[in-house]
Amino acid sequence: MRKIREIMRLKWECGCSHRAIGKSIKVSDSTVSDCLQRAREANLSWPLPDDLTDDQLEKKLYSPVRNTIGEEKRGKIDWSYIHKELKRKHMTLRLLWLEYREKYPQGIGYSQFCSVYREWGKPLDVWMHQDHKAGEKLFVDYAGQTMPVVTNNSTGEVGDAQIFVSALGASSFIFTEATWTQSLPDWIQSHVNAFEFFEGCPEILVPDNLRSGIRKTHLYEPDINQTYQDMATHYGAVVIPARVNSPKDKSKVENAVLQVERQVLAKLRNRTFFSLEELNQALRLLQDELNQRPFQKLQGSRLSQFLELEKPALKPLPPTRYEYAEWKKAKAGFNYHVEINKHHYSVPFTLIKKELQVRYNSKTVEVFYQNERIASHVRSYVAHGYTTSQLHMPKNHQHQAEWTPERITSWAEKIGSETAHLIEAIMISRPHPQQGFRSCVGVLRLAKPYGNERLEAACKRALSIGTYNYKSVESILKHNLEKQPLPTDSVSTHKNTTSGSHEYVRGQGYFQ
């Protein structure tokens, strides 16, 4: 205002030209002309009244009444509406400007439209000013603050509950819950609960570089935990973690964590909780209050923005809920089995020493090779046990898998009773019948080079001298010992053997 007063003094008191006035106070000639023209229209003269303040002088010279006709042509733009519409999918500032120009053909140009919008948005908080499309992103993290929960009523032992926080990008709608840990099972379950609370799924998950979600951080290709990726795929989402040491990438959830700590956890600081369920009920009530609280610089609330913009844009939930499963890299040994929690599961024998991926939950174990499932088993919790599919075995192993005590004994009976008695004796002499299967098969195969008659005699001799193994029978046949008389002290035993009453026969129950 000081320069305006000086322009009027130099012109009307000193009679200076416009050019001289401009040089004197360092303004353009046109500015001098515009100022004097406004003073004439406002019926001002020199000297100005002593009680005329600078604010009053400005209102007289630059009254908004002068722009009434221009505003009618340009129209009054509701920038809050523009800001809200930009959160819709596929909405652009140019499209909103075109709609504005259809209503006001003589309105401002596109570049000025963008410039004014940016100036309008400067006072907004950074977390509000970011452009996020409805239904696009869900930001997830844990609060730095924990909540104490009594875990033992008798001793008063207290555990610290972790606070999971998530916020949708466009509406800032918040979901929070308490879990005992930040481990992978709790991390996955909190995501599932969040999707069900929102009644829909976002397109992108933006976590911090928590170990449960990101196995190895990287600027360009972070290594995402396989179970986390599996869960995201089930819900049709992708995982794009925030960059390391870049809080602006996840400013939504940073602000959500701050609001939860200030507006929720702070209010619960003097309460004592005796279970995780009790704590989560209290969190849900205060969370709903937070979502319903009106924005300070925008119209509506988190809840209204969610219902109007975000919820319709979320993808529907899949028909089935995600069932937690873990992944593990494994290699099958020479026994074509992989080990999961001390139990062994078979894979096709052709994949020995190949790099495999194993997905397992409480019910099933699935094995993948090059993203193709090559084996599936029912989960077993028998330590050091084996779950084997016959289809995974080599052919010679498949035949061996068909062996049973009864079946081997029936093969021996086709040769003769002495051979059958020896086969039974071999299996009984072992801690478990299966340990004698190979020896029994070896004895039966001796019938091919030596004949059934000689094998019967050799088995009779082996029974009489009490040698129940393949090598003894083979040695008897090789040295023609089956033709020699039996030892005299084994005659009674031999008689018992041929009569069908044997000390080594334990009955059918032994072979079950």
Tokens at residue 99, please? 């709609």
Amino acid in the structure at residue 402? E
Instruction: Provide DSSP, 54-72.
Output: HHHHHHHHS-GGGGHHHHH
Residues 6+ positions from 466 with CB-CB distance below 8 Å? none
Do the beta carbons of residue 391 and residue 380 sit within 8 Å? no
Q: Around Cβ 87, how many Cβ atoms within 10 Å?
A: 21
Confidence tier at 202 by pLDDT (50, 70, 90): very high
Q: Is the pLDDT of residue 219 over 50?
A: no
57: CB partners within 8 A, 6+ apart: 1, 4, 5, 48
For the chain, how are helix, strand and coil distributed in percent, rounded to 5? 50, 15, 35
405 with 398: CB under 8 angstroms?
Answer: no
Beta bridge partners of 162: 179
- pLDDT given for residue 249 in this prediction: 64
Q: What is the pLDDT of residues 223-274, one digit of tens each?
A: 688 888 889 999 999 888 877 666 666 678 788 898 898 889 988 888 999 9
Cβ atoms 354, 332 nearer than 8 A:
yes
Indicate the helix (H) or strand (E) that contains 387. Answer: strand 386-387
Residue-level pLDDT at 222: 60
In whole angstroms, give the CA distance from residue 405 to residue 436. 9
CB 142 within 8 A of CB 163: yes
d(CA 299, CA 105): 28
Contact 303, 168 (CB under 8 A): no
Q: Is the pLDDT of residue 451 over 80?
A: yes
Q: Kindly report, residue by residue over 263-277, the tens digit of the pLDDT.
A: 899 888 889 999 999
Judged by average pLDDT, the poorest of 399-413, 472-486, 495-509 is 495-509
Q: Give pLDDT tens digits for 329-355.
A: 888 877 788 888 889 898 998 888 888
Q: Show me where the domains of the chain are located.
A: 2-62, 74-123, 137-313, 326-395, 403-511
Give the chain's count of helices (H) and strands (E): 23, 15
pLDDT at 63: 63
DSSP assignment letter at 308? I
Burial class (CB in 10 A: 0-12, 13-18, 19+), 33: middle
Res 129: pLDDT: 45
User: Higher pLDDT residue, 234 or 221?
Assistant: 234
Rounded Cα–Cα distance for residues 201 and 239 (Å): 13
Question: What SS3 class is residue 394?
Answer: coil
Report whether 133 contacts 254 (CB < 8 A): no
The separation between CA 170 and the C-alpha centre of its own chain, rounded to angstroms, equals 21
Tell me the Cα Rg of the chain.
Answer: 44
Instruction: Give all strands (DSSP E) within 58-146, no chain letters.
Output: 137-142
Poorest-pLDDT segment among 104-108, 119-123, 494-498: 494-498
| Strand partners for 387 | 345
Q: pLDDT class for 470, splitting at 50, 70, 90?
A: very high
Q: How many CB atoms lie within 10 A of CB 387?
A: 17
Q: Which residues have CB under 8 Å from 100's CB, separation 6+?
A: 75, 77, 107, 113
* CATH level 3 topology of 137-313: Nucleotidyltransferase; domain 5 (3.30.420)
Measure the CA–CA gap between 278 and 404, rounded to whole angstroms: 58
Amino acid identity for residue 92 in this structure = T
d(CA 85, CA 83) in angstroms, rounded, equals 6
According to DSSP, residue 309 is labeled I
**Tokens at residue 105, please?**
């053909």
